[in-house]
Amino acid sequence: MKLRRLFLPGVIALLVNSGCANVKPWQRETLADYTMRADRDPLRVSQMQHVWFSREEANGGGGVGGGGCGCN
């Protein structure tokens, strides 16, 4: 019985606090700013690709040598 009492308010709380927001057209400029991009630092991107392909032994390698053993 207690579970039923907590279930409906819990579902309502999740729906209310879901984090969705409507973005106005004039606010999109802020979200499209260069600092909001995940790939804005080319050095970090290349380091992360190097680590990923060294660890995962993925096809292609993104231009880095090695094969999963971390011995580039």
What is the residue-wise DSSP string for 15-39? HHTS------GGGHHHHTSGGG-TT
As a whole number, the mean pLDDT across the chain is 74
- What gap in Å lies between CA 58 and CA 28, rounded to an integer? 36
Residue 71 pLDDT level (bands cut at 50, 70, 90): low
Neighbouring residues of 58: CB distance < 8 A, sequence distance ≥ 6? 52
pTM, to two decimals: 0.35
Nearest to 57 by CA among 46, 48, 72, 68: 68
Model pLDDT for residues 38-54, shown as the tens digit of each residue: 788 888 888 888 887 77
